[in-house]
Amino acid sequence: MQRGKVVTYASRQLQVHEKNYSTHDLELAVVLFSLKIWTDYLYRIHVGVFTDHKSLQYVFTQRDLNL
């Protein structure tokens, strides 16, 4: 959000194999999808990702992830 307004939206359909993913895996997939789409805009800036999903909060607190 910029000045309290949404700058852009993105969406896509789930792939066949993703339909079997658990909720926290789907939420993490959404975060990764978003970061990949906006890589050009996010390059070399500090980005914060906020989530209310407890299992994802654990993932985001890890220093090194092998994604």
In this prediction, residue 14 has a pLDDT band, given cuts at 50, 70 and 90, of very high
Percent of the residues in the chain that have a pLDDT greater than 70, as a whole number: 79
The pLDDT of residue 22:
84
Round to whole Å and give the CA distance between 58 and 66.
14
pLDDT at 7 over 90: no
The pLDDT of residue 43:
87
Task: Tell me if residue 8 falls in helix, strand or coil.
Answer: coil
**pLDDT by residue (tens digit) across 16-67?**
999 998 887 888 888 889 989 999 888 888 887 777 767 767 677 777 666 5
